[in-house]
Structure 1
Amino acid sequence: MKRKRPLESHSDTLLTDETFESLQISQETLAALEEMHFTYMTEVQARCLPHALGGRDVLGAARTGSGKTLAFLIPIVELLSKVKWPNKMGTAAVIIAPTRELVLQTHNVLSELCSHHPHSHCVVMGGSNRKVEVEKLTKGTTIIVATPGRLLDHLQNTRGFLFKNLQVLVIDEADRCLDIGFEEEMHEILRILPKDRQTLLFSATQTTRVEDLIKVSFKNKPIYVGVDDKRETATVSGLEQGFLVCSAEVRFQTLFTFLKRNSKKKIIVFFSSCNVVKFYAELLNFIDIPVLELHGRQKQQKRTNTFFEFCKAQSAILLCTDVAARGLDIPAVDWIVQYDPPDEPKEYIHRVGRTARGVDGKGRALLFLLPSEKGFLHYLRQAKVPLHEYEIATSKLANIQSQLESLIAKNYYLHKSAKEAYRSYLLAYASHHMKHIFNMEALDLKAVAKSFVILDTQIY
């Protein structure tokens, strides 16, 4: 694969010259930060922490990978350290995150940060053992990291869950909480929780719905921390971004060739639906390209195991839906491949936030487009996303189509999975927000079916 023109490189340092020690926080927290190899603050931490440690409400607009997790965890841990919060006082802090994976990751960071503190903490989320959660909540857990749905369930139904003494509420990825259907739950949670508290709310984007949530979240006018407001681009400059225009019938061959060539890299590939992820994972594993899969139809334990397996791997390929697109801190991802385009530019930005994270982070992103979808590039450039065109010669593609068609035709389960994936792809395509670009009428269904290695397009 080669670029049609060279990419420029820029320096992009997220670190400031301000140290955590300058904040005059506890020795216990400083010791934990040292063990976590953090000495200097990122920009969002340097701007947010002095206000948050002082008890002020904070509204933060910061991209994924900016260090905002510590920006809200440190104030919680420090407050509880000062007041020596006993478990009998119930829950002092609630952190809300949109997905189970982000809840688990945030809780892992919290566990490390609390390694020299006595604070009790737990996760509360769908898919985990509710009975165990009830036991922890009724005994008294100081810090809770939760998804909105399960938190509301406990607020409404768990007798003995003491939250009237709540001191701090954190809402992380507020826009994402609303995007995935938690708007009613969020407003009900805010109605139930005590109003006399400190609130820290973070959102990568500001929409009308987020603004409505902000109005009911804060009792007092918050300090606004917007570290990305003056950026010339919406994505970090350590990220080399490109797009590849190829016809539907050779899309999978192109992906296969790309994965083969980059088998020693760490890669995330995004697809439009669970069934599509499931099929391509089955197919690639069957033909000896080992891949992991992460999507919403998996049981929670499977999702958790997959997430941590990918995190720990030196090289691996993860196929996923947008469940993994926000907030997850997966170390050293080399490539983000968007095989199915996102619903809108902000989703593109969220997806590529998985790579080039942190200080001097480097990574690459590749967007697949059909010739009829090139209009999407205009909207990406409007959103300050710098993209360059890649090309791959058809003669360089792996010649596997006829063998795969023969394989699928003979394998009942793969054939069934392929048809389900094809149908799911079309349904997702038909529901795309930008229908003037992602237009069903412009699709060559036979060519699309070929990318799913099937010949029969009549599946309805």
Structure 2
Amino acid sequence: MDDGIVLNIADDAFTGPVKGSGKKAGRWTDRLNAKRVLKRKTRPSGKAAHQPYHVSDDENHEYRPAKRPRPEKPSVDPSSASSLLPSGAVPTSRPPAQIISSLFSYNPKIEAPAISAQKIPSKPSNAPLTDASTFADLGLHPLLTAHLSTKLNITKPTSIQRATLPIFMNPLSEDMAARDVFIQSQTGSGKTLSFLLPIIQDLFPLSTHSYIDRSIGTLAIIIAPTRELAKQISDVLESLLQLRLRPEADSGDPESSTRLTRWLVSGLLSGGATRGHEKARLRKGIPILVSTPGRLLDHLQNTSSFNVGKCRWLVLDEADRLMELGFEDTIKGIVQGLDGRRNLALQAVSEGKSMEVGGWDWERRRRTVLCSATIREDVQKLAGTTLIRPLMIKALDTDKPDGAISHIDHDASATGLSPEKFTPPSQLSQKFVVVPLKLRLVALVALLRSLLAQTHGRRGSKIIVFLSCTDSVDFHWRLLGSSSMGSDGPEESPKVDAEKDAEDSDEDGASGSDDDGKEDEKIAAQSPLLPDASIFRLHGSLPTPVRLASLRGFSATPSTKSKRPVPSSSILLCTSVASRGLDLPLVRAVIQYDLPTENGATEYVHRVGRTARAGKGGEAWSLVAPSELEWVKWVEGKMRGGLEEDTATDHKANITLEGASIESVLSKGYGGKGSEYEQRATEVQLSFERWVLNRKENADLARKAFLSHMRAYATHPSNEKHIFHVRHLHIGHLAKAFALRDAPKTITDGGKKNGVKGTVKPKQRISKNGNHKPDKVHDWDERTGDTEHRMQEIVRAQGRLSRKGGKMVSSGTDEFQIASGAALAKLAQSSQI
């Protein structure tokens, strides 16, 4: 009896305290449960019956299964990531306080991409012509031709310029000269010069009149959908207006003795400046004006000194983007405003109240030019309401100039545009890599490192990374610019490039501050993981001076005359605001970190069109989740126009996305032998997670980006839901891509605890009409955080909505659109439902 008592005490001491034994007073039920647990442990049954056993020292020979040895945790060798550490930095060896999941475990199995046959390099589809065509042959003024060749180094026109310039400058008949024009051409093919050169050519002869000066008012207006594109067009226009006014005296040109006046000046209206500064410039006169739609309509309605009665040209650039952003009514208001100002000017002349000197050709009507890379239904509608008897010009074949022009009858102007599939430049190399959700962040860093390594020795290389939302852009910009390898201490803010362009931009008197204060005035950041590279950001929520300064800093090219040092490479993190029209120099590669959520293949082609411009080469990378693999074949079919690869014609048969394995991307980015890249990628991921845990502001920024990304992912249109659906995503793995160690229920539960605003409180639900009200049937389980249950109830109550044609409509299905209750509640609050 005494031995049995001693044995029981020994067993308790060996096995450690039983769960619940630490409770106050130790009830008899706790002791009874402890005996039952001990009995189950010592009972040989099942698998344990075949395992080696320890024998106790008592005479009953009580058996107990042997404990399995605990495997040692693999430790990361600090020397393995030495190539990723900054000089003098030592990786930390302190064990983490939280459970950290491995990057390379429990990932879905990914099949190795099929090795495609070596493609024959295609002839560039948007390069300048290689034949004997010159701008002089197209009827361009000799001074403009000389300026293009000597100052701008442009000697050959592109195919769209060859098709467009003769129609504007040497019309075959007066009837053709009076018709409006629809220009359709591939991205990067030179559409900007195709309408700027005819405008300057048309207004240049007025320089011979001594009474003509800038007070004549605005004679040409160019409308761009975004501020960045408006600024770019304005810069190109300013460079063209710096031409010499007279040829050389010894050239024998009879016009060399003609006195010309430099009255042609350009102006930019894109918001950000005070209305008083803009009114002052308009009062002085801006003959050629570049503007965004909203700002232009504001001055047409409220600025009486805005003289547009003699306006000869109206250009709508990137018409498809104008319609996407909802500017249809604004464009109608602008056209009506221009017509009203012209009627008032004609009335003043007929009544003899005009104070102007000299005559003016009032019989000539205003000519409208609409430019778009795609012909969609909304673009056709805009063409039908703004163009009169339009003439369509498109570059179909560079070898057949006569076949590059097609006419549209007046009766068919609204519906006679035949939609054609939008294809990327033929010389563009398109690649994709299937990346597990947990590896997205380290895969992006690896891909950037490998692309930067390939550009070693070539200064000024640019890389554009597209993300889905503004919060994600801000998070990744601050993460790359603030985190450091091997440091757990306080992190510094992103380093600021020595550029103060935010204050001396074209927006007079504009301020670069907003709610974030000085943080948004910082333009460039540097990361120890991306040496010799400056990281910029661009999205629509940034102040105008910061956006323009970021674009200017990213576009800067090395020059010996530059007073400021230009980084070897530049990286731009941006949303789709940078996908249209921007002609950024030396862009070597475009990375689609998040695939487009709107417009499908069209938006994809616009994004990749930022590289491989004007006949140059480039790469386009797409990071595809395992559940999104079907997107590759889907986008290839869209770009081929529904034709199979063996039946497609021309360069459409060459439109394929080449696959690359995630292992090759990581090994090229992080280096090492064998699987050593796994240890280095793990160390990079841990450094990002330590940065998030270091400060509450960083954690809030990561969670906000995570929720915004989920909301953006849910906006894929209904015809893409079979590819992109939140039900296909592993939420925990996706959180890892935002350097979060918390489980999804920890992120979405308890808004006050985790700093995430807008979470749904317990015992509440959203009714069908969108109002919050108590739920008497379902009780939210705060202890377990049943995310799936809350997601079903909230989304079903909200109704099944999907995006179609830019509007939220009922899809008629039971699919869930939002992944978490917190995301839906925040969306409902922001929409004031």
Normalising by structure 1, we get a TM-score of 0.94
Q: Distance in 2 between matches of 1:172 and 1:304?
A: 19
Q: Distance in 1 between matches of 2:549 and 2:145?
A: 30
What percent identity do the matched residue pairs reach?
Answer: 36
Matched letter for residue 313 of structure 2: V
Q: Distance in 2 between matches of 1:258 and 1:322?
A: 20
Q: What corresponds to 1:353 in structure 2? A: 609
Q: What corresponds to 1:146 in structure 2? A: 291
Matched letter for residue 29 of structure 1: L
Q: What corresponds to 2:395 in structure 1? A: 227
Matched letter for residue 350 of structure 1: H
Q: Distance in 2 between matches of 1:445 and 1:228?
A: 46
Distance apart, 1:233 and its partner CA: 7.7
Distance apart, 1:23 and its partner CA: 2.7
Matched position secondary structure for 1:365: strand
| 2:546 aligned with 1:302 | yes
Matched position secondary structure for 1:318: strand
Pick aligned residue for 1:200 from 358, 364, 369: 369
Q: Distance in 2 between matches of 1:95 and 1:181?
A: 18
Distance apart, 1:25 and its partner CA: 2.6
Q: Distance in 2 between matches of 1:131 and 1:232?
A: 45
Give CA deviations for 1:391-414 in whole Å, capped at 9, x if unaligned.
Answer: 121644522223322231122222
| 2:184 aligned with 1:61 | yes
Matched letter for residue 443 of structure 2: T
Give CA deviations for 1:38-74 in whole Å, capped at 9, x if unaligned.
Answer: 1111000000011122445221111221011110001
Distance apart, 1:206 and its partner CA: 1.0
Q: What corresponds to 2:492 in structure 1? A: none
Q: Distance in 2 between matches of 1:228 and 1:239?
A: 19
Matched letter for residue 302 of structure 2: N
Distance 1:188 1:23, change over 3 A: same
Q: What corresponds to 1:421 in structure 2? A: 705
| 2:360 aligned with 1:105 | no
Give CA deviations for 1:218-245 in whole Å, capped at 9, x if unaligned.
Answer: 12x2221122589998111221001111
Query: Superposed, which structure 2 residues align to 1:346-385 within 5 Å?
Result: 346-359=602-615, 361-384=616-639, 385=655
| 2:121 aligned with 1:9 | yes
Contact 1:124 1:145 in 2 (8 A): yes
Q: What corresponds to 2:312 in structure 1? A: 167
Distance apart, 1:142 and its partner CA: 0.3
Distance apart, 1:37 and its partner CA: 0.8
| 2:136 aligned with 1:29 | no
What are structure 1's unaligned runs of at least 5 residues? none
Q: Distance in 1 between matches of 2:703 and 2:661?
A: 29
| 2:438 aligned with 1:249 | yes
Q: Distance in 1 between matches of 2:114 and 2:396?
A: 28
Distance apart, 1:316 and its partner CA: 1.1
| 2:659 aligned with 1:389 | yes
| 2:576 aligned with 1:322 | yes
Distance apart, 1:3 and its partner CA: 8.5
Distance 1:131 1:28, change over 3 A: farther
Q: Distance in 2 between matches of 1:64 and 1:187?
A: 26
Aligned residues: 458
After TM superposition, the structure 1 stretch with the greater mean CA deviation from structure 2, 175-184 or 79-88, is 79-88
After TM superposition, the structure 1 stretch with the greater mean CA deviation from structure 2, 335-344 or 221-230, is 221-230
Give CA deviations for 1:380-429 in whole Å, capped at 9, x if unaligned.
Answer: 11222421111121644522223322231122222111111101101101
Q: Distance in 1 between matches of 2:198 and 2:315?
A: 11
**Which of the pair has more CA radius of gyration?**
2
Q: Distance in 2 between matches of 1:277 and 1:284?
A: 11
Contact 1:44 1:227 in 2 (8 A): yes
Q: Distance in 1 between matches of 2:634 and 2:662?
A: 24
Q: Distance in 2 between matches of 1:184 and 1:421?
A: 33
Q: Distance in 2 between matches of 1:30 and 1:403?
A: 56
Q: Distance in 2 between matches of 1:224 and 1:232?
A: 16
| 2:295 aligned with 1:180 | no
Matched position secondary structure for 1:200: strand
Q: What corresponds to 2:158 in structure 1? A: 42
Matched position secondary structure for 2:429: strand
After TM superposition, the structure 1 stretch with the greater mean CA deviation from structure 2, 406-415 or 291-300, is 406-415
Give CA deviations for 1:146-203 in whole Å, capped at 9, x if unaligned.
Answer: 1111111111111110112110111110001111221221122122223931111111
Q: What corresponds to 2:13 in structure 1? A: none
Q: What corresponds to 1:409 in structure 2? A: 693
Distance apart, 1:255 and its partner CA: 0.6
Matched position secondary structure for 1:215: helix
| 2:473 aligned with 1:217 | no
Q: What corresponds to 2:524 in structure 1? A: none
Pick aligned residue for 2:219 from 61, 71, 92: 92
Give CA deviations for 1:432-453 in whole Å, capped at 9, x if unaligned.
Answer: 2222321011111111100001
Distance 1:284 1:3, change over 3 A: farther
Q: What corresponds to 1:19 in structure 2? A: 134
Distance apart, 1:378 and its partner CA: 2.9
Q: What corresponds to 1:238 in structure 2? A: 427
Distance 1:58 1:233, change over 3 A: closer
Contact 1:15 1:43 in 2 (8 A): yes
Contact 2:431 2:622 in 1 (8 A): yes
Q: Distance in 2 between matches of 1:44 and 1:67?
A: 7
After TM superposition, the structure 1 stretch with the greater mean CA deviation from structure 2, 136-145 or 258-267, is 258-267
Pick aligned residue for 1:292 from 502, 513, 536: 536
Distance 1:436 1:228, change over 3 A: farther
Pick aligned residue for 1:136 from 281, 289, 292: 281
Distance apart, 1:129 and its partner CA: 3.5
Contact 1:244 1:368 in 2 (8 A): yes
What are structure 2's unaligned runs of at least 5 residues? 1-111, 172-176, 246-261, 343-364, 398-403, 405-419, 456-460, 484-526, 558-567, 640-654, 667-674, 749-821, 823-833
| 2:200 aligned with 1:77 | yes
Contact 1:295 1:323 in 2 (8 A): yes
Pick aligned residue for 1:156 from 271, 285, 301: 301
Q: Distance in 1 between matches of 2:234 and 2:313?
A: 16
After TM superposition, the structure 1 stretch with the greater mean CA deviation from structure 2, 425-434 or 231-240, is 231-240
Matched position secondary structure for 1:21: coil
After TM superposition, the structure 1 stretch with the greater mean CA deviation from structure 2, 390-399 or 297-306, is 390-399
Matched letter for residue 97 of structure 1: A
Q: Distance in 1 between matches of 2:660 and 2:724?
A: 21
Q: Distance in 2 between matches of 1:166 and 1:251?
A: 52
- Kindly indicate which of the two structures has a greater share of residues assigned to strand: 1
| 2:444 aligned with 1:332 | no
After TM superposition, the structure 1 stretch with the greater mean CA deviation from structure 2, 161-170 or 450-459, is 450-459
Contact 2:138 2:162 in 1 (8 A): no
Q: Distance in 2 between matches of 1:199 and 1:92?
A: 12
Structure 1 stretches (4+) deviating beyond 4 angstroms?
228-233
Q: Distance in 1 between matches of 2:544 and 2:147?
A: 29
